[in-house]
């Protein structure tokens, strides 16, 4: 597998929701990124920044009121052929989904049908997304389900005949991951995969995801508001704000030398568990109303670095450090990125 | 705020409280023999995984559940034997902030309605104008300004952080002496979490309100618990108790150590091995508790002998630090012996 060509290319993607009275609100705007094989990309940001919408949009799973209103999503299959995700319809889309790109939904508690046994969930998944051919036999379904459950270290004999309510939160999350990996997708999208799980359970899921990624070699897109977790699970990070990616780079770039004031603010807001670390500070104000975006930079009102010029331009992602193709460049959508640093913030934090 | 009472009895004391739920599948001992105290202006953080009994403990402290055994004392008086007048006072003095600000506010009541109702009910405001002024002052106290703009609004018009501030303001209407916050910040975005915690800390330092603060986030416990205590709970028992910073920076119980090892770190350079070192990931069921120390099937320090036969008691291993572990207590005793 060549690592030089992206498996997923997103260009200028815009996703809008209808909000009644014929109006639309753009929840995701101008998103560009390339995902290379075996990469793990974290999308981080506050609630309402568009990260879940983007995740759903990539799989064409948007709710009824949501629609992709612009841009392109190109997917490169295992055979090397590029397919236009937005042009897929009906049967083709159903087969592509899950066997190529699968998703682990937010809230393992509510992602199952409570009146179906776990084995039926597996059977449904296999049958709904099967490529042409005979209907898979019960035995075949059972074998595949058992193998998938073993991969996430669950006992098939105990889990398959159970109903969802009989499993603990951590077990449900594992089953959900097993279901997502059932058809061996190339890309796995995870939406807040460990929220609502206990610390030790979360740790075991994180360790397991690392193992699974090594074993199956899939790429991950990981949506979370938990920055430390994102830092552990991902090798590259994109910070989202008001529907756009405002900073992108490796984990190291974004979490140790952030160049967008919003990334800096988010990192500063996380109370550290280690002794001697800096005092946390919240970001003043709240995210803008997506229906009435302000002129210029959308973060301006909350930004300690803002100058008059920020009111005029909504900056594109500017290169901070460019790296050759296939490697992740560090980019930030801030005209003052050269002045922004995690440590300098201290003087302005008190405002 | 209120008259300074003599400092003899702590504000709130739980003495050997236990709570057993009777279910079809058998008795569930949610809390076993917990003794904790909180003074005015103090903070006690309860941390642990879900099902460890932290919420049940808080409910007993708030008088929302009656302990199966043991007693809850408020200012030295047993809550269970209070006369109705004292009980009324107790209800006013102890307030609860719930986890989910989207569910804990009445959606068809304006913010003013939510805040004025307890004021009017308890006779703190004689008329609407007085209630309005007091509600305004409460919102200012939780940094929702300009307060006049927020009073006529409804919960759906507010963001999560603003709602949680309203929930805090509501719990302040009756001038509480003790606030019990159950995961009060876990639903909030990172960017506003610290702001709400600051507001709560100010209440503690300015109004001398005591806090029982429940969280599963050790970083939050360390931050909010500054100057206070942390009690780590596991399967209904307190396994470690001490000064907040001390417990987090220098954990003694193997369970606390495992929890801290599992905390993700934002800085990729600071990352060390994250293996909590547990022998098993699964939490035993409360209906079939392991013999001896409840933690022994998972414990990396497990030694044959006492661990699986004798339940350990909380014992002081160093000044101000109590740990419930045979191995840690044994080592501490040995150290003391050698020192002598």
Mean pLDDT for B115-141 is 91
The CA distance from B250 to the nearest CA of chain A, in Å, is: 10
Question: Counting beta carbons within 10 angstroms of the beta carbon of residue B243, is it exposed (0 to 12), middle (13 to 18) or buried (19 or more)?
Answer: middle
Residue A3 scores a pLDDT above 80? no
- Residues of A whose CB is below 8 A from B282: 168
Residue B339 has pLDDT above 70, yes or no: no
> Mean pLDDT, to the nearest integer, of A275-295?
82
What's the rounded mean pLDDT across residues A236-241? 95
**Pair B183, B216: CB distance under 8 Å:** yes
Q: Do A228 and B270 touch (CB under 8 A)?
A: no
Q: For A6-39, write each residue's pLDDT tens digit.
A: 999 999 999 999 987 788 899 999 999 999 998 9
**What are the chain A neighbours of B267 within 8 Å (beta carbons)?**
231, 255-256
Q: What is the mean pLDDT of chain A?
A: 88
For tokens 């997103």, name the residue.
A10
Is A199 at the interface with chain B, CB within 8 A? yes
Strand partners, A43: A223, A238
Domain map of chain B by residue range? 12-108+154-255
Inform me whether the C-beta atom of residue A301 falls under 8 Å from chain B C-beta atoms. Answer: no
E strands in chain A? 8-18, 24-35, 40-44, 66-76, 82-84, 101-104, 187-191, 219-224, 236-241, 244-250, 318-321, 330-332
Tokens 């490697």 identify what position? A327
Cα separation, B54 vs B37, in Å, equals: 14
Which residues from B are below 8 Å from A260, CB to CB? none
- Pairwise CB contact (< 8 Å): B263 & A273: yes
Burial of B98 (0-12, 13-18, 19+ CB in 10 A): middle
Q: What is the pLDDT of residue A290?
A: 85
- Two structure tokens written together for B265: 């770190």
Identify the pLDDT of residue A31.
94
Chain B residues whose C-beta is within 8 A of a chain A C-beta are: 49-50, 159-161, 189-195, 197-198, 216, 218-220, 222-223, 245, 248-249, 258-271, 274, 276, 278, 281-283
| SS3 of residue A158 by DSSP | helix
Query: Which of B189, B201, B215 to probe by mutation at the A interface, max A CB count within 10 Å?
Result: B189
A283 interfacial to chain B (CB closer than 8 Å): yes
- Provide the pLDDT confidence category of residue B157 given band limits of 50, 70 and 90: confident
Asked whether the beta carbons of residue A267 and residue B266 sit closer than 8 angstroms, the reply is yes
Distance of CA B320 to CAs B46, B120, B164, B317, B323, Å?
A: 17, 44, 34, 8, 10
Q: What is the mean pLDDT of residues A273-298?
A: 84
| A275 at B interface, C-beta within 8 A | yes
pLDDT for B68 beyond 90: yes
| B193/A282 CB distance under 8 A | yes
Q: Structure tokens of B74?
A: 């408020």
Q: CB-CB: which of B159, B190, B268 is closest to A256?
A: B268
- List CB contacts (< 8 A) between B270 and chain A: 274
B292 has pLDDT over 60: yes
Q: Is the peptide bond before B186 cis (omega within 30 degrees of 0)?
A: no
Q: Does B42 have pLDDT greater than 80?
A: yes
Residue range B85-93: mean pLDDT, rounded:
91
Higher pLDDT, A274 or A239: A239
Facing residue for B265 by CB, picked from A207, A228, A269: A228
Structural contact between residues B212 and B182, judged by C-beta atoms closer than 8 angstroms: no
Give the pLDDT confidence of A65-113 residue by residue, as tens digits: 999 999 999 999 888 889 999 999 888 898 899 889 999 987 777 889 9
Residue B274: pLDDT band by 50, 70, 90 thresholds?
Answer: low
The predicted structure's pLDDT at residue A351: 38
Q: Does A286 contact B269 at a Cβ distance shorter than 8 Å?
A: no
**DSSP count for chain A of H helices, then E strands:** 11, 12
Contact call for B190 and A269, based on CB within 8 A: yes
Sheet containing A330-332: give its strands across.
A101-104, A187-191, A219-224, A40-44, A236-241, A244-250, A330-332, A318-321
Interface check for A231 against chain B (CB to CB < 8 A): the answer is yes
Does the CB of A282 have a partner CB in chain B at under 8 Å? yes
Q: What angle do CA B279, A195, A64 make, to 5 degrees?
A: 140
Cα separation values, B218 from A94, A276, B46, B223, Å: 43, 15, 10, 9
The model's confidence at residue B178, banded by pLDDT at 50, 70 and 90, is very high
Which pTM value belongs to this model? 0.86
Chain A residues with CB under 8 Å of B268 CB are 231, 251-252, 255-256
Give residue A2's pLDDT: 46
Q: Does A273 touch chain B (CB under 8 A)?
A: yes
Buried/exposed code over A47-67 (b: 16+ C-beta within 10 A; e: otherwise): ebbbbbbbbbbbbbebeeebe
What pLDDT sits at residue A289? Answer: 83
Write the burial class of residue A80 (CB in 10 Å: 0-12 exposed, 13-18 middle, 19+ buried).
exposed
Q: Which residue has the higher pLDDT, B276 or A219?
A: A219
User: What is A8-234's CATH number, 3.40.50.2020, 3.40.1000.10, 3.30.830.10, 3.40.50.300?
Assistant: 3.40.50.300
C-alpha–C-alpha distance, residues A332 and A321, integer Å: 10
pLDDT value of residue B242: 95
Confidence of residue B340 (pLDDT cuts 50, 70, 90): low
Q: Tell me what pLDDT residue B8 has.
A: 61
- Per-residue model confidence (pLDDT) at position A292: 85
* Cα–Cα distance for residue pair B127/B120, rounded to 1 Å: 8
Residue B96, pLDDT score: 92
Given a cut of 80, whether residue A276 has pLDDT beyond it is no
Identify which of A284, A340, A282, A269 has the alpha carbon closest to the alpha carbon of residue A310.
A340
| Inter-chain CB proximity A199 and B259 less than 8 Å | yes
Q: Which residue has the higher pLDDT, B167 or B4?
A: B167
Which tens digits make up the pLDDT trace of A170-227?
888 889 999 999 988 999 999 988 877 888 888 888 989 999 999 999 999 999 888 9
For residue B7, pLDDT over 60 is answered with no
d(CA B33, CA B237): 7
CB atoms within 10 A of CB A308: 7
Closest Cβ opposite residue B49 in set A200, A207, A231: A200
pLDDT score recorded for residue A282? 84
> 3-class SS at B167?
helix
- The answer to whether the CB atoms of A255 and B266 lie below 8 A apart is yes
Please, what is the average pLDDT of chain B? 88
Q: Which of B145, B232, B251, B266 is the best mutation test for A, with the most CBs of A within 10 A? A: B266
Alpha-carbon distance of A251 to A235, in angstroms, equals 5
CB atoms within 10 A of CB A32: 18
Residue of B nearest to A202 (CA): B262
Which of the listed CATH numbers 3.30.70.2860, 3.40.630.30, 3.20.20.100, 3.40.50.300 matches domain B12-108+154-255?
3.40.50.300
DSSP string, B208-276: --EEEEEES-HHHHHHHTTTSEEEEEETTEEEEEEEHHHHHHS--SHHHHHHHHHS--S-GGG------
Q: Rounded mean pLDDT of A333-347?
A: 78
Summarize pLDDT for B222-244 with one digit per residue, the tens: 999 989 999 999 999 999 999 99
Closest CA in chain A for residue B220: A271
Please name which of A94, A31, A103 lies closest in space to residue A333, comparing C-alpha atoms: A31
Of the two residues B1 and B74, the one the predictor is more confident about is: B74
- Ranges for all domains in chain A classified under CATH 3.40.50.300: 8-234
Q: What is the pLDDT of residue A346?
A: 44
B-interface mutation test, from A165, A198, A239, most B Cβ less than 10 A away:
A198
| Nearest by CB: B269 against A226, A256, A267 | A256
Chains A, B: CB contacts under 8 A, how many?
Answer: 114
Could you tell me the pLDDT band of residue B4, with boundaries at 50, 70 and 90?
very low
Q: Check whether B330 has a pLDDT greater than 60.
A: yes
pLDDT for the residue B71: 94
């Amino acid at each position: 597998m060549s690592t030089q060509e992206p498996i997923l290319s997103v260009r200028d993607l815009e996703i809008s929701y209808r909000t009644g009275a014929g109006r639309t609100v753009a929840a995701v705007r101008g998103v560009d990124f390339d995902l290379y094989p075996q990469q793990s990309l974290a999308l981080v940001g506050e609630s309402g920044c568009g990260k879940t919408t983007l995740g759903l949009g990539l799989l064409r799973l948007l709710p009824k009121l949501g629609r992709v209103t612009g841009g392109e999503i190109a997917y490169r299959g295992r055979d090397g052929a590029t397919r236009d995700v937005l042009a897929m319809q009906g049967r083709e889309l159903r087969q592509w989904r899950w066997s190529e790109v699968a998703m682990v939904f937010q809230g393992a508690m509510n992602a199952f049908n409570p009146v179906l046994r776990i084995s039926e969930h597996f059977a449904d998944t296999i049958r709904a997304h099967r490529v042409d051919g005979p209907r898979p036999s019960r035995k075949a379904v059972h074998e595949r389900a058992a193998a998938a459950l073993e991969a996430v270290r669950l006992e098939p004999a105990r889990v398959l005949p159970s109903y969802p309510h009989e499993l603990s939160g951590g077990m449900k999350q594992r089953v959900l991951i097993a279901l997502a990996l059932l058809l061996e997708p190339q890309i796995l999208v995870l939406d807040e995969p460990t929220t609502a799980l206990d610390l030790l359970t979360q740790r075991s899921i994180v360790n397991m995801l690392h193992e699974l990624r090594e074993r199956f070699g899939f790429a991950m897109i990981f949506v979370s508001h938990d920055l430390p977790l994102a830092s552990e699970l991902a090798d590259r990070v994109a910070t989202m704000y008001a529907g756009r990616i405002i900073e992108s780079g490796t984990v190291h770039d974004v979490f140790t030398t952030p160049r967008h004031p919003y990334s800096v603010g988010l990192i500063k807001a996380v109370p550290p568990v280690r002794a001697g670390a800096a005092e946390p500070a919240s970001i003043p104000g709240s995210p803008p109303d997506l229906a009435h975006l302000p002129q210029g930079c959308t973060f301006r009102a909350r930004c300690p670095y803002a100058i008059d010029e920020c009111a005029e331009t909504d900056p594109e992602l500017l290169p901070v450090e460019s790296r050759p193709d296939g490697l992740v460049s560090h980019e930030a959508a801030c005209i003052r990125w050269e002045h922004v640093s995690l440590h300098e913030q201290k003087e302005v934090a008190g405002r | 705020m209120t008259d300074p009472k003599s400092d003899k009895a702590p504000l709130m004391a739980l003495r050997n409280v236990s709570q057993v739920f009777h279910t079809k599948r058998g008795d569930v001992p949610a809390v076993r023999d917990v003794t904790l105290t909180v003074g005015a202006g103090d903070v006690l953080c309860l941390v642990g995984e879900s099902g460890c009994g932290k919420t049940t403990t808080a409910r007993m402290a708030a008088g929302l559940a009656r302990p199966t055994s043991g007693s809850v004392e408020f200012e030295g008086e047993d809550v269970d034997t209070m006369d109705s007048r004292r009980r009324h006072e107790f209800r006013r003095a102890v307030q609860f902030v719930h986890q989910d600000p989207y569910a804990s506010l009445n959606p068809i009541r304006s913010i003013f309605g939510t805040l004025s109702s307890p004021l009017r009910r308890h006779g703190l405001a004689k008329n609407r104008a007085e209630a309005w002024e007091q509600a305004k002052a409460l919102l200012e106290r939780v940094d929702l300004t300009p307060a006049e703009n927020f009073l006529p609004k409804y919960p759906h018009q507010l963001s999560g952080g603003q709602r949680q501030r309203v929930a805090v303001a509501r719990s302040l209407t009756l001038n509480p002496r003790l606030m019990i916050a159950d995961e009060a910040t876990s639903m909030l975005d990172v960017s506003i979490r610290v702001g709400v915690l600051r507001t709560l800390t100010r209440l503690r330092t300015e109004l001398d309100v005591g806090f029982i603060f429940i969280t599963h986030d050790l970083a939050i416990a360390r931050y909010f618990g500054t100057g206070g205590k942390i009690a780590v709970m596991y399967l209904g028992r307190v396994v470690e108790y001490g000064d907040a910073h001390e417990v987090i920076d220098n954990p003694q119980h193997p369970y606390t150590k495992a929890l801290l090892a599992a905390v993700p770190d934002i800085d990729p350079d600071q990352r060390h091995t994250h293996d909590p070192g547990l022998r098993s990931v699964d939490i035993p069921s409360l209906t079939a508790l392991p013999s001896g120390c409840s933690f022994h099937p998972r414990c990396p320090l497990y030694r044959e002998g006492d661990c699986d036969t004798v339940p350990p008691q909380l014992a002081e291993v160093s000044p101000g630090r109590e740990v419930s572990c045979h191995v840690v207590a044994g080592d501490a005793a040995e150290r003391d012996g050698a020192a002598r």
